[in-house]
Amino acid sequence: MFVWNYFTNDARVLRECTALSEAGYHVDLIALHQAGLPKVEQKNANFHVYRMSQKLPFTPILSWLKNKKYLLGMLALVYAIACFYWPLLLLLLLTSLLFTKPMRTIMFRSIVFLRMVRAGFRQRYDIYHANDLNTLLQAVICAKWLGRSKLIYDSHEVQTSRTGYDSPLYGITERFLLRFVDVCIHENHTRAAYVEERYGFYPEVVHNYPFKQEQDTKMTVDLHQQLEIPREEPILLYQGGIQSGRGLDRLIEAVPHIKMGTIVLIGDGRIKPALEKKVAERKLENRVKFMDKVALESLPSHTKEAYLGFQILNNTCFNHYSASSNKLFEYIMSGIPIIACDFPEISRVVKGYEVGLTVNSHDPEAIAKAVNELVNNPEKRKKLHQNCLQARDIFNWDKEKLIFLAIYEKIVIRS
């Protein structure tokens, strides 16, 4: 299995690898490496993680040249004047390009790509499993171009309509590589219907349901004490990536309209510094608290401290509009009522099982109104909490993994 991240907080991949390994499959997960993480990690007897280095083979030489950039410039000038030798000048020019950020990014990704392919050939695997488009080519090369193995494409996002992924190249690439795929998986039926309309087939559906937890058997974290929040103040929680399009800027704008409660955001991401600055400029530091992301295994102990949770994606792309992400079901699993955007998959759960309130996620006052409704009405919040406890018997990985394992069983039989 391939994944283009460090495999520290990827809940879906962890669930799938765990399910496969417990069912008797031997699973090798190929991920990215960063300082502080083990290059090889054994999760259980059948599940190993191999993290690929992102360092270039000649990194020490590049670092030395970068530190001696003035010397390099002088040498280039001497050569140019003394020799007029254009091949050498061209070589120096190409060498200088190595110091530009775009070129270094391309080189880093190319090296990691090749290392992933090489790791995929450590042994002849029966099945290759690509998580998202950024690992599909690696899997295709290993499974089909240099072998005859089965190939699963597990797309966690709508690759052709995502924030920051506007190039038509993604759709062209996906359409071409799908011809080599034996089974395609998406995470809800709205997205599956989109794939059918675009590519002419209906993929398998495996939802983002979390591991089942018993409400009273897990330890909790005292966020009130840790963040110096008064005991009587409800914690209004957002957990997940601090990224654009997730309604977090609207949430900050909603704070002055919220009568009671402290916003707590757990996670990291690109726009976190901008949000922290926005909070400081509006002098909301006592109403909005930031925490770094926490490990997956300890996240439920933080979630259970909340009065309610936010899932307020903005309708900036079809990927957001069609989402039913992990946090929605993590809130439910912890018994936390949800303030959610009124999008098809999310609304189906929130309204259908009465586990929260839906709002116009682009409207800060609408968000605040929903928060005030639950804060001012503890009995309603209690009812939603009880509904969450019932819904977690439906939206859990214990049931969903049977669907996932059945997909693998069909592939094994066909092979």
For 185-195, write each residue's pLDDT tens digit: 999 999 999 99
DSSP for 263-288? EEEE---TTHHHHHHHHHHTT-TTTE
CA distance 351 to 132: 30
Instruction: Please tell us whether the domain made up of 223-395 is placed in CATH 3.40.50.2000.
Output: yes
Rounded distance between C-alpha atoms, residue 140 and residue 146, angstroms: 9
Q: Which residues of the chain have pLDDT under 50?
A: 64-65
Q: Say what the pLDDT of residue 106 is.
A: 76
- For the purposes of burial, counting CB atoms within 10 Å of the CB of 293, is it exposed (0-12), middle (13-18) or buried (19 or more)? middle
Spell out the residues 6+ positions from residue 302 whose beta carbon is closer than 8 angstroms to its own: 220, 221, 223, 237, 239, 266, 291, 294
- The pTM for the full model equals 0.86
CB < 8 Å & 24+ apart, contacts of 384-388:
384/337, 384/354, 384/355, 384/356, 385/335, 385/336, 385/337, 387/353, 387/354, 387/355, 388/331, 388/332, 388/333, 388/334, 388/335, 388/336, 388/337, 388/355
pLDDT at 63: 54
Q: Where are the alpha helices (DSSP H) in 200-271?
A: 223-226, 248-254
Any idea what DSSP says for residue 256? G
What integer pLDDT is reported at residue 325 of this predicted model? 86
- Amino acid letter at 19? A
Q: How far apart, in Å, do the first and last CA atoms of the chain sit?
A: 18
> Can you tell me whether residue 12 is helix, strand or coil?
helix
Cβ neighbours of residue 353 closer than 8 Å, sequence gap 6 or more: 387, 390, 391, 394
Contact by Cβ (8 Å): 264, 285: no
Find out whether 25 and 152 touch, Cβ atoms under 8 Å. Answer: no
- Those residues whose C-beta lies under 8 Å from the C-beta of residue 191, and which sit 6 or more positions away, are 155, 158, 322
Quick one: CA dihedral 70, 71, 72, 77, positive or negative? positive
